[in-house]
């Protein structure tokens, strides 16, 4: 078993495809998880075979593969485009002409997600990593009191809006991997379980496992991974470091990422509190053979240095399971 080590291009969206591939190759990566707001135009990929050929040729020349594409920004707009969920920060995720128009943003996002499924199929990619948004994230703290009916309505609205999109994913033979994350309908252990239950464990919907969003919430990422093993379609290697010194809180105090006054920060893999050794052992046990995709976010480190170091770190920990018991030799023949 050899899991490819890839890099998510979402944080490198300022680079064109050629430069992104050249940079990834130099840093030691074996593939890309390509962001649809960065190097990949899904409408071109859906309509123009020569565009896909050019993308694939560029990756081949730099010895890179692609096992997933990321459509997080588009996916967020499917639910957050609802007038009841919309805020102006969403405008940056959709085409400029839809700014301030939540219904138009949502309409665009639903269509764009369906096109994304078709684009993935034509690229030979079977997994789209994504966000879904949430109509109830803003009521996560129950004051004013949040009723159980409000929560249930939120999950049912997600099912209503995403089911037709998943129908298109099914037609294309493409899986949807939700990144469990604050602001999403599934952001921790129990909200993830509820989401999968609401969709009746529909095989289309799975998880993009990212431990960095769990560790600061007090959730053990390895336990989460083990319990939801059947739904894990993709894995992010991303780290977070806790800094709970008696003054700093886990809610972040509206302080910018990287500031030491925050209770936690994203850091380059190996510099935080995620136990990656245990995660690899669980991945081995559950038989995960997909990519380990580094989503590199560290406001305190230069990104080429960090991306290079993160690649080497991930290759070092990416060990295969043993094919023999350690005590097999301890017996008389």
Give residue 139's pLDDT.
95
Q: What are phi and psi of 205, to 5 degrees?
A: -90, 120
d(CA 1, CA 269): 22
Domains observed in the chain: 5-245+276-317 (3.20.20.150)
Q: Per-residue pLDDT tens for 278-293?
A: 999 999 999 999 999 9
Answer whether residue 176 shows pLDDT above 90: yes
- Three-class DSSP category at 240: strand
| pLDDT tens-digit map of 27-86 | 999 999 999 999 999 999 999 999 999 999 999 999 999 999 999 999 999 999 999 999
Q: Which tokens in the block code for residue 176?
A: 């949807």
What does the pLDDT look like over 296-329, one tens digit per residue? 999 999 999 999 999 999 999 999 988 877 767 6
SS3 175: strand
Tokens standing for 294? 């580094």
Q: Average pLDDT of 265-270?
A: 98
Name every residue whose Cβ is closer than 8 Å to that of residue 13 and which is 6 or more positions away in sequence.
Answer: 35, 37, 38, 39
In this model, does residue 101 exceed pLDDT 60?
A: yes
Flag the least confident range among 84-88, 252-256, 268-272: 84-88
Q: Determine the pLDDT at residue 30.
A: 98
In this predicted structure, what is the pLDDT of residue 251? Answer: 96
DSSP single-letter state for residue 3? P
* Residue 2 clears pLDDT 90, i.e. is over it: no
φ and ψ at residue 214, rounded to 5 degrees: -100, -40
Beta bridge partners of 35: 70
pLDDT score at 324 = 77
Q: pLDDT averaged over the chain? A: 96
Determine contact, residues 106/82, Cβ cutoff 8 Å.
yes
pLDDT digits (tens, 9 = 90+) for 183-194: 999 999 999 999
Q: What percent of the chain stands above pLDDT 70?
A: 98
pLDDT in the model for residue 330: 75
pLDDT above 90 as % of the chain: 95
- Listed in order, strand segments (DSSP E) in the chain are 5-8, 31-35, 65-70, 127-130, 175-179, 205-209, 232-237, 239-242, 264-267, 292-294
Question: How do residues 222-254 score in pLDDT, each as one tens digit?
Answer: 999 999 999 999 999 999 999 999 999 999 999
pLDDT at 1 exceeding the cut of 60: no
pLDDT at 236: 98
pLDDT value, residue 333: 64
Residues 108 and 102: their CA atoms lie apart, in Å, by: 10
The residue-averaged pLDDT of 200-215 equals 98
Q: At residue 331, does pLDDT exceed 80?
A: no
């Amino acid at each position: 078993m050899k899991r490819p080590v890839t890099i998510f291009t979402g944080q490198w969206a300022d680079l064109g495809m050629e430069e992104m591939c050249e940079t990834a190759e130099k840093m030691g990566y074996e593939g890309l998880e390509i962001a649809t707001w960065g190097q990949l135009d899904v409408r071109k990929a859906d309509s123009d075979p020569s565009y896909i050929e050019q993308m694939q040729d560029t990756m081949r020349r730099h010895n890179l593969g692609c096992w997933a594409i990321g459509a997080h920004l588009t996916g967020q707009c499917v639910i957050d485009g609802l007038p009841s969920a919309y805020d102006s920060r969403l405008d940056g995720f959709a085409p400029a002409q839809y700014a301030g128009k939540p219904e138009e943003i949502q309409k665009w996002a639903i269509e764009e997600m369906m096109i994304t499924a078709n684009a993935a199929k034509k690229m030979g990619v079977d997994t789209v990593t994504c966000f879904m948004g949430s109509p109830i994230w803003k009521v996560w703290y129950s004051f004013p009191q949040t009723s159980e009916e409000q929560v249930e309505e939120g999950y049912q609205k997600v099912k209503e809006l995403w089911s037709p999109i998943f129908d298109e994913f099914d037609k294309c033979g493409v899986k949807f991997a939700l990144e469990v994350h604050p602001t999403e309908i599934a952001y921790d252990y129990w909200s993830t379980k509820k989401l999968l239950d609401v969709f009746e464990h529909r095989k289309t919907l799975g998880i993009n496992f990212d431990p960095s969003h769990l560790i600061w919430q007090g959730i053990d990422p390895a336990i989460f991974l083990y319990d939801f093993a059947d739904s894990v379609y993709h894995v992010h290697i991303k780290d977070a470091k806790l800094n709970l010194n008696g003054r700093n809180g886990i809610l972040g105090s509206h302080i910018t990422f990287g500031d030491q006054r925050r209770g936690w920060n994203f850091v380059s893999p190996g510099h935080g509190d995620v136990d990656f050794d245990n995660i690899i052992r669980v991945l081995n046990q559950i038989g995960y053979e997909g990519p380990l995709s580094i989503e590199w976010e560290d406001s305190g480190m230069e990104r080429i240095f960090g991306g290079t170091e993160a690649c080497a770190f991930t290759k070092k920990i990416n060990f295969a399971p043993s094919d023999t018991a350690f005590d097999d030799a301890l017996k008389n023949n």
